[in-house]
Structure 1
Amino acid sequence: METEMEAAEDQNKNNKNENENNNNNKKGVAADEQRVPFYKLFEFADRLDLVLMVVGTISAIGNGLAQPIMSLIFGQMINSFGASDPSHVVQEVSKIAIKFVYLGIYACIVAFLPLLKEKVCKSAKSMQNRGAIGARLSTDASTVKNLVGDTLALIVQNISTITAGLIIAFTANWKLTLAILAVVPLMLAQGFIQAKFLKGFSGDAKVMYEEASQVANDAVRSIRTVASFCSEKKVMDLYQQKCKGPMEQGVRIGLVSGSGFGFSFLAIYLTNAFCFYIGALLVKRGQATFGEVLKVFFALTISALGVSQTSALAPDTNKAKDSAASIFEILDRRPRIDSSSDSGSTLATVTGNIELEHVSFKYPTRPDIQIFRDMCLSIPSGKTVALVGESGSGKSTVISLIQRFYDPDSGRLTLDGMDLKRMKLSWLRQQMGLVSQEPILFNETIRENIAYGKEGHATEEEITAAAKASNAHNFISSLPQGYDTSVGERGVQLSGGQKQRIAIARAILKDPKILLLDEATSALDAESERVVQEALDRVMVNRTTVVVAHRLSTIKNADIIAVVKNGVIAEKGRHDALMKITDGAYASLVALHMSAT
């Protein structure tokens, strides 16, 4: 269908432009990150999620305290071995050994709580489940979920470890601690530089993976076409080509992250050497004991490990920030035509008079191509109006405008005298039923696909009556599972004529005041077309009907035939009257159609 093709083209161009902006405009990426403060990541959490997050945060803090406390107990243990009375060593060491047992029990409890949180979170609403807008949003939601889950817990744990380690070290011997902290900026500098490098890499890799994901999605959706042209290798080569960039980017990220992580350990070992040297000088001067030196050493070593682990989390943090910006860019976007809005007026009764008054229109992504130029068309209530014309003339665009998928650039469309822009959008679309060239069926049973047409619950009698009216009941009843037969993904288990009749039944169940038929029979064979057309003829009675079709058999009995040409209605009238116009646009189309058949 023209509408679907043009809408797909619009979406593809939007994706392309978005990728180019993400890839080339670094300032734009930075701006997105600034627009997404950290607290916004928790907007998806319900009350249970927040409680679990508090529990997880407390457990992460407690887990971070375990190792610094161990260094404190370890220092006491060393001092016990150095007691002046050897006969009391076993007694003193036993007392301190009990502290290790208590510490082990404590660590077991606080390490178990985060796992309990993950178990319960499976039954709660997660951020990933909220993201269902394609592969991009699914991937980004998963990345952000990891940040607010495991990664955030590790960051909190490391901050707790660093803080506790510093407190213990200063308490044990502040002079030694100050001397060692003089070299800490060395570790902080490497972490900062590493994060800066990774920040630039993560945004580029995300865009590249989106391009590869798009290739995979297209191939899976069109698997029959790919197989029929034996293009499997071509698609795989294209996917590998798209993945080449992210792979190279991943190697660069690994080099930067690995070198930074290695430098962290270098800084740690240099700090160890410096610590023992300064500690020896203080012990020599009587300003420290051996136990105090070990307390400071272990406490600061553990703090340094916390710093290095936190810097190693920089790639995940940067990916999550980019993903959060991407998610909120989608969620915060407000379309000009918002189908979720409850604003607008409704009509007490709908008669079905539709008017296109001096409509001019261009597709937003193709502003240089004029589709309609001051177009006027009247669609009377209860009549059938057929739109004909060359491919690309804008026939399907009329249906898109009537459904308010787009608004005209100038002029207006009215229903019973009221401008469509003033109407409540969900109510307006509820008055319309659409049967398209390639009907969309869901991977459910036939019964559920038909029932989808009615807002609320549809009874078995209503579903059966709709199926009979669409000439679908007989073939449905002949199936082994009848109305409980699964149609498969996109209706693959049914023929074209069968899918079309189910789509008509769905439209009948909706009982619309306005029926929109967009090439509803053009893809069917002669027998299927006859059966489907009979069903359509029954549905069209006493309904305002707009038909887009090429076949003469479909349109010749229409009340009004309108020829769309060069952005305007070139001719309109009944079939017999239009055929009498010598060299008329409609007569030319019919002659072309007859010669082709």
Structure 2
Amino acid sequence: MHSISQGSSGVGSSSRHRSLSLTFGLPMTLNVSESALENSDVASTKTTARPQKVPLRRLAYLNKPEVPVLMAGAITAIANGAIMPVFGILISGAIKTFFETPHKLRKDSKFWALIFVVFGCASLIAYPTRTYLFGVAGHKLIRRIRLMCFEKVVNMEVGWFDEAEHSSGMIGARLSADAATFRALVGDALGQMVQDLASATVGLAIAFASSWQLALIILAMVPLIGLNGYVHMKFMKGFSADAKVMYEEASQVANDAVGNIRTVASFCAEEKVMEIYKNKCEGPMRNGIRQGLINGLAFSLSIALLFLVYATSFYAGARLVEDGQITFSDVFRVFFALTVASTTISQSSSFTPDSSKANSAAASIFAILDRESKINPSDESGMRLDSVKGEIELKHVSFRYPTRPDVQIFRDLSLTIHHGKTVALVGESGSGKSTVISLLQRFYDPDSGHVTLDGIEIHKFQLKWLRQQMGLVSQEPVLFNDTIRANIAYGKEGNATEAEIIAAAELANAHRFISGLHQGYDTVVGERGVQLSGGQKQRVAIARAILKSPKILLLDEATSALDAESERIVQDALDHAMVNRTTVVVAHRLSTIKAADVIAVVKNGVIVEKGKHETLINIKDGFYASLLTLNMTTTTS
């Protein structure tokens, strides 16, 4: 877990941070500057393919554990739905009593009043029960979907997070909003649909039993209402898919700005952020206005058709009474029964926007659930060695990042790192130094060539075991918004004891400053460790790496962002951590790697020079010597 939490994708700090924040669901996204925020506009211009429609049976399968609850909810919904059509029979009988003699009227009115009280009590029990049962099933489904989706996300390969559509804001929206939208399919809306279906079925049965002629006449008009609902749903489906993408883009901008508020404040970019966010919200606003117009037209048409059904029922009923085919009470039975049926169909169309959003959300969620990670850390297959020496070799490796296939990072790169030795990688920015660490941790697989550990290709190892053999300390270590104790404990799989945490902190030269804090190891470091200085954060990260007891230590510019005093303290901690471990160091400050056993110079995707510091500086017109001269000049100036 440690190796994932601090891993570098090697495509720049923004990509690394985005992958980290997604892996752990943290609000830490990009190092937002003006250019980073503007990039969100570029991402929004890309065409987003709409996910495929998800069959209803897949959703039902996810809710399989709640089948007993759904069945009980369906029974109460059917009972509640049958009340209104039966009420139609009763009201027709109650109206008939007004034509009786005063004595019989008084007697019958008491009877009907009592019956209506009984029906009211039945509704008082049935409706809350239905809502509760479908609510339980819906919320359990939401919880299950969020857990499944998050499990998939954290097990995706790092390259997946490099893609713009898998940014932290968009993934966060899927985990929160999209999962919650499922309740429109399994929840109150589903309960209402079952209830409405029961009302329509019972209403039709009563209508046909009372007068099949009048029932057929009125029933011929019901499909018009259904057709209106279907057209409405088709319109809303397109709007929901478009609005979802727009809201995800706006969410990403807000997530970037809030997660990096100090950068925004330091550049006085508040107005710029607001302008970008405002522009992102323009699309959803226009979409919402059009959606409101369509909703209004569809609902008004439903009501108009409903009154048309009323008019037809009274007109046709009067004709049939005139012809002596049915009685006055039969007309009212058919009228009330079919009115309820028509009303329920019309009401069901009101759930069209929710169900359309839910279908779009389901497609988005299942797009994640159905994707198989190309490098899955949860895969238990693969080799495990009883003991690891730490002998590493990269043989003729060629590599391009999946999101930048036109940029060749490595061209037939070969490098041997002997166990227990320290190898330093130097070179210009963008030469691929950090990419070596990403390949060693198998964040990516090379396009060609082999990466081996103790003579075995690393893709043959169990991935989680492989990463447990490595400890990473990066230039900007990621600390979680938790206590120092919890942040160090992340380094060990399972529970770390207090003694182990303190021992790791002592080796990292961190115990003294931690003990000096008011709350000691229980100090909360804040979002991304903002409450600690750079050197303190780095030492906590080193303690976390040491707690793993890794055979291989990976240092990705671990001291380049520190001042001289902090660098001295951190470097001392690193020197302790490097003892008896194979160490790979990526450094810009060449002064920190003079004591390395081997220094490898990376240029244009290959190793151009390799040897000890003393050897390399004596190479005439050597690349390392020129780097050292440039580095010293920069430091002096």
TM-score by length of 2: 0.88
2:425 is the alignment partner of 1:387: yes
1:487 is aligned, of 504, 514, 525, to 525
1:240 is aligned, of 254, 257, 278, to 278
Q: Residue in 2 aligned with 1:72?
A: 89
Check the 8 A contact 2:40/2:249 in 1, yes or no: no
CA distance in 1, matches of 2:84, 2:592: 80
- In the superposition, relative to structure 1, how do residues 228 and 208 fare at CA in structure 2: closer, same or farther (>3 Å)? same
1:543 is aligned, of 575, 578, 581, to 581
1:7 is aligned, of 3, 9, 15, to 15
After superposition, residues 10-89 of structure 1 pair within 5 angstroms as: 20-22=46-48, 29=51, 32-33=52-53, 36-45=54-63, 47=65, 49-83=66-100, 85-89=101-105
- In the superposition, relative to structure 1, how do residues 344 and 229 fare at CA in structure 2: closer, same or farther (>3 Å)? same
Instruction: Please state how far the C-alpha of 1:17 moved relative to its aligned partner.
Output: 7.5
Instruction: Please state how far the C-alpha of 1:125 moved relative to its aligned partner.
Output: 6.7
2:608 is the alignment partner of 1:591: no
Look up the equivalent residue of 1:69 and give its one-letter code.
Answer: V
1:423 is aligned, of 457, 461, 472, to 461
Q: SS at 1:387's partner residue? A: strand
2:118 is the alignment partner of 1:102: yes
Check the 8 A contact 2:237/2:360 in 1, yes or no: no
Instruction: Please state how far the C-alpha of 1:572 moved relative to its aligned partner.
Output: 0.7
Q: Which moved more, 1:257-266 or 1:282-291?
A: 282-291
Cα distance per residue 1:197-249 (max 9 Å; x no partner): 11221111111111111111111111111111111111111111111111111
Q: SS at 1:343's partner residue? A: coil
Cα distance per residue 1:122-171 (max 9 Å; x no partner): 99573364354422332211111333112212222221221121111111
Look up the equivalent residue of 2:117 and give its one-letter code.
Answer: V
Check the 8 A contact 2:131/2:188 in 1, yes or no: no
Look up the equivalent residue of 1:321 and give its one-letter code.
Answer: N
2:271 is the alignment partner of 1:263: no
After superposition, residues 196-345 of structure 1 pair within 5 angstroms as: 196-345=234-383
Cα distance per residue 1:84-139 (max 9 Å; x no partner): x5432222232232221211111111111134337756995733643544223322
Look up the equivalent residue of 1:167 and give its one-letter code.
Answer: A
- In the superposition, relative to structure 1, how do residues 124 and 140 fare at CA in structure 2: closer, same or farther (>3 Å)? closer
Q: Residue in 2 aligned with 1:398?
A: 436
Instruction: Please state how far the C-alpha of 1:311 moved relative to its aligned partner.
Output: 1.5
CA distance in 2, matches of 1:148, 1:320: 10
Q: SS at 1:341's partner residue? A: coil
Q: Residue in 1 aligned with 2:155?
A: none
2:386 is the alignment partner of 1:370: no
Q: Residue in 2 aligned with 1:552?
A: 590
Q: Which moved more, 1:66-75 or 1:542-551?
A: 66-75
Check the 8 A contact 1:45/1:126 in 2, yes or no: no
Q: Residue in 2 aligned with 1:114?
A: 130
Q: Which moved more, 1:89-98 or 1:578-587?
A: 89-98
CA distance in 2, matches of 1:46, 1:355: 49
Look up the equivalent residue of 1:110 and give its one-letter code.
Answer: A
Instruction: Please state how far the C-alpha of 1:59 moved relative to its aligned partner.
Output: 2.3
2:584 is the alignment partner of 1:576: no
RMSD of the alignment, in Å? Answer: 2.2
Instruction: Please state how far the C-alpha of 1:281 moved relative to its aligned partner.
Output: 1.0
CA distance in 1, matches of 2:468, 2:598: 25
CA distance in 2, matches of 1:560, 1:430: 25
Q: Residue in 1 aligned with 2:451?
A: 413
CA distance in 1, matches of 2:451, 2:334: 79
Q: Residue in 2 aligned with 1:191?
A: 229
CA distance in 1, matches of 2:484, 2:438: 27
1:353 is aligned, of 388, 391, 395, to 391
Instruction: Please state how far the C-alpha of 1:19 moved relative to its aligned partner.
Output: 7.6
CA distance in 2, matches of 1:15, 1:455: 40
CA distance in 2, matches of 1:464, 1:458: 10
Q: SS at 1:148's partner residue? A: coil
Look up the equivalent residue of 2:98 and give its one-letter code.
Answer: F
Q: Which moved more, 1:144-153 or 1:209-218?
A: 144-153
Q: SS at 1:435's partner residue? A: strand
Check the 8 A contact 1:46/1:125 in 2, yes or no: no
Q: Residue in 2 aligned with 1:126?
A: 142
Check the 8 A contact 1:3/1:400 in 2, yes or no: no
Q: Which moved more, 1:210-219 or 1:57-66?
A: 57-66
Check the 8 A contact 1:55/1:113 in 2, yes or no: no
2:604 is the alignment partner of 1:566: yes
CA distance in 2, matches of 1:56, 1:529: 65
Q: Residue in 1 aligned with 2:159?
A: none
CA distance in 2, matches of 1:15, 1:400: 29
Q: SS at 1:365's partner residue? A: coil
Instruction: Please state how far the C-alpha of 1:55 moved relative to its aligned partner.
Output: 2.7
2:479 is aligned, of 441, 449, 454, to 441
CA distance in 1, matches of 2:142, 2:238: 28
Alignment gaps of 5+ in structure 1: none
Q: Which moved more, 1:391-400 or 1:246-255?
A: 246-255
Instruction: Please state how far the C-alpha of 1:57 moved relative to its aligned partner.
Output: 2.4
Q: Residue in 1 aligned with 2:494?
A: 456
Check the 8 A contact 2:134/2:191 in 1, yes or no: no
CA distance in 2, matches of 1:317, 1:120: 19
Q: Which moved more, 1:93-102 or 1:510-519?
A: 93-102
- In the superposition, relative to structure 1, how do residues 275 and 45 fare at CA in structure 2: closer, same or farther (>3 Å)? closer
- In the superposition, relative to structure 1, how do residues 69 and 238 fare at CA in structure 2: closer, same or farther (>3 Å)? same
Q: SS at 2:324's partner residue? A: coil
- In the superposition, relative to structure 1, how do residues 186 and 43 fare at CA in structure 2: closer, same or farther (>3 Å)? closer
TM-score by length of 1: 0.94
- In the superposition, relative to structure 1, how do residues 466 and 5 fare at CA in structure 2: closer, same or farther (>3 Å)? same
Check the 8 A contact 2:78/2:198 in 1, yes or no: yes
- In the superposition, relative to structure 1, how do residues 560 and 332 fare at CA in structure 2: closer, same or farther (>3 Å)? same
Aligned sequence identity (%): 57
CA distance in 1, matches of 2:568, 2:476: 17
CA distance in 2, matches of 1:594, 1:280: 103
2:108 is aligned, of 92, 104, 118, to 92
Check the 8 A contact 2:398/2:447 in 1, yes or no: yes
Alignment gaps of 5+ in structure 2: 1-7, 20-29, 31-38, 151-170
Q: Greater relative contact order: 1 or 2 (C-alpha under 8 angstroms, separation 6 or more)?
A: 2
CA distance in 2, matches of 1:555, 1:323: 51
Look up the equivalent residue of 1:134 and give its one-letter code.
Answer: G
Q: SS at 1:116's partner residue? A: helix
Q: Which moved more, 1:170-179 or 1:411-420?
A: 170-179
CA distance in 2, matches of 1:259, 1:334: 43
